[in-house]
Amino acid sequence: MSSIVAMHIITVSLRHDRGRMIKPSLRFDVRARLSYDFFSTLIGLDAPFLLSETLSCNWCSYYRFSCYRFPYYQLSSHPFFDNPFVLLAIRALKTGGTPKAFDTNVSLSTLLFLIDVSFPTHFKRCNGVVFMACYLIYLNFICFYFWSGYCSNRNIAPKDGAVRLTRRRIMLKPLTLLAASVLAVTSFNAAANCDPGEIVIKFSHVTNTDKHPKGIAASLLEKRVNEEMNGKACMQVYPNSTLYDDDKVLEAMLNGDVQLAAPSLSKFEKFTKKYRIFDLPFLFEDVDAVDRFQNSDAGVKLKNAMNRRGVRGLEFWHNGMKQISASKPLISPADAKGLKFRVQASDVLVAQFEQLGANPQKMSFAEVYGGLQTKVIDGQENTWSNIYGKKFFEVQDGITETNHGILDYLVVTSSKWWDGLPADVRDQFATILKEVTEQRNAESNKVELANKQYVIEAGGVVRTLTPEQREAWVTALKPVWKKFEKDIGSDLIDAALASNKQ
């Protein structure tokens, strides 16, 4: 109901006397430029680099940059914009036309990004409702102060039927949005309300909650903890990168901003290079082999390998085997030559695509769809759950079923937080987590097959390789193993290979 009221308020505030949508354009004056330089300095951006860039101003399009040092590129997938209310509020701030370089005009998307990254970090430690309220109020205040105090927009000629905004009209908008913000807080996907005295466990992850193995497991864990540990602990799950993406969540966890995370295994190579074993192409035959390895003595040692760095591994969670897709059919390894593929921040995955003669591009998960859509990248590798959940098949020629690698997760926490828990709370939570892990890992393959079928039913093209065709991929990529054998250890690779033979 609150979302409907918010929509009504926003819609009314958008209308002009003649029913036209307000599309203000923003122009810097000298003071605005100083303010922008201040923001750039504050968040450590390279101002000369930014000033050389040009972008489209259509809010609904994706932003294409030649350098991915900062996440401007797919604003619509940014965590802040996952909230339906915020998408409505953006309509009140939407710009029109095509801004030139940043030394004359600035797009609203960039302004919002600057607001976002300058948002005080300590607010992110608040519970979901307080966090969202602070965030919206902060955006309202900063954005409109910036507009009214620094933008010479009254001298800009309207474009495409846009109407000129007077300062009075501009200053009325914060009141409108602030009122709607209060209503929106109740519709925010905030986590469970925690009672005083309960230990709050924030769990941030990047997937959906109903069709992805990790999201389903996280939701089940939240349900069981809140039911069975009521009065002791309270879990709050933030899916779809609503707090942090995989590239930032480990830092946030070590800082105490979240207590649980489950990044993909590639993210742990910065703590120990032994985790590179999970990225070696064609090392594991299937998820069952991965499961046997993770539950072996070698797998348990890997789980505990980051304790000295303050990261406590708790449980491995399965996603599935990776498939590969591109803007053209991929049947033989030679088909990948010259194409640009998105990879996680993993040296093994970079080497994998370089071995094929392709051009690997490190990119966050949230940016992949836009990268494929705008042809900044040509292809990607992922599980069926990720391909369907993020709709990658919509912007690809097809998916080739290679099963060439595993994409799994490790549920982790900080050693400091874990060791500081009361013994009874820690033991009960560990028991629940283990039971959820066993239950959901047993179901992960079923979820993967279902998502593959969803891709097919949605019109996605799936290509199956013959044994001879797949063997050509194995032969082409196996040299990657040798490059990382020293980092991983031949004994660990042998243990992984042994898991295939049972």
At 288 the pLDDT is: 96
Q: Using an 8 Å Cβ cutoff, are 224 and 436 in contact?
A: yes
Type of residue numbered 352: Q
At 159 the pLDDT is: 41
Q: Which of 21-35, 235-249, 349-363 has the highest mean pLDDT?
A: 349-363
Distance of CA 419 to the CA centre of its chain: 29
130 pLDDT more than 50:
yes
1 — pLDDT class (breaks 50, 70, 90): very low
What is the biggest distance separating any 2 CA atoms in the chain, rounded to whole angstroms? 75
102 — pLDDT class (breaks 50, 70, 90): very low
Q: Using an 8 Å Cβ cutoff, are 408 and 383 in contact?
A: no
For 391, the 3-state DSSP assignment is coil
At 137 the pLDDT is: 60
More confident residue, 307 or 59: 307
The model's pLDDT over 258-317, given as tens digits with 9 standing for 90+, comes to 999 999 999 999 999 999 999 999 999 999 999 999 999 999 999 999 999 999 999 999
Mean pLDDT of 424-436: 98
CA distance 433 to 387: 27
At 135 the pLDDT is: 59
Complete edge-to-edge strand list for the sheet that includes strand 340-343: 359-362, 340-343, 379-382, 323-326, 398-401, 462-464
Q: Give the pair of three-digit tokens for residue 116.
A: 């976002």
Report the 10 Å Cβ neighbour count for 491: 9
Mean pLDDT of 447-469: 96
More confident residue, 101 or 221: 221
E strands present in 218-298: 233-238, 260-261
The contacts of residue 49 (CB under 8 Å, 6+ apart) are 67, 69
Cα–Cα separations (whole angstroms), residue 263 to 53, 219, 240, 325: 32, 16, 12, 22
- The DSSP 8-state label assigned to residue 453 in this structure reads H
At 246 the pLDDT is: 77
Please report, for the chain, the start and end positions of each structural domain, with discontinuous segments joined by +: 2-185
243 — pLDDT class (breaks 50, 70, 90): confident
44 pLDDT more than 80:
no
What's the chain's length in residues?
A: 502
Strand partners, 358: none
CA distance 120 to 268: 27
The model's pLDDT over 152-187, given as tens digits with 9 standing for 90+, comes to 344 433 344 333 434 444 444 444 444 444 444 433
Distance of CA 172 to the CA centre of its chain: 34
252 pLDDT more than 70:
yes
Average pLDDT score over the chain: 74
484 pLDDT more than 80:
yes
Strand partners, 317: 409
Angle between helices 213-228 and 423-457 (to 10 degrees): 150
CA distance 40 to 419: 39
At 26 the pLDDT is: 34
More confident residue, 117 or 292: 292
248 — pLDDT class (breaks 50, 70, 90): confident
Mean pLDDT of 321-325: 98
At 174 the pLDDT is: 47
The model's pLDDT over 333-382, given as tens digits with 9 standing for 90+, comes to 999 999 999 999 899 999 999 999 999 999 988 889 999 999 999 999 99
CA distance 309 to 415: 9
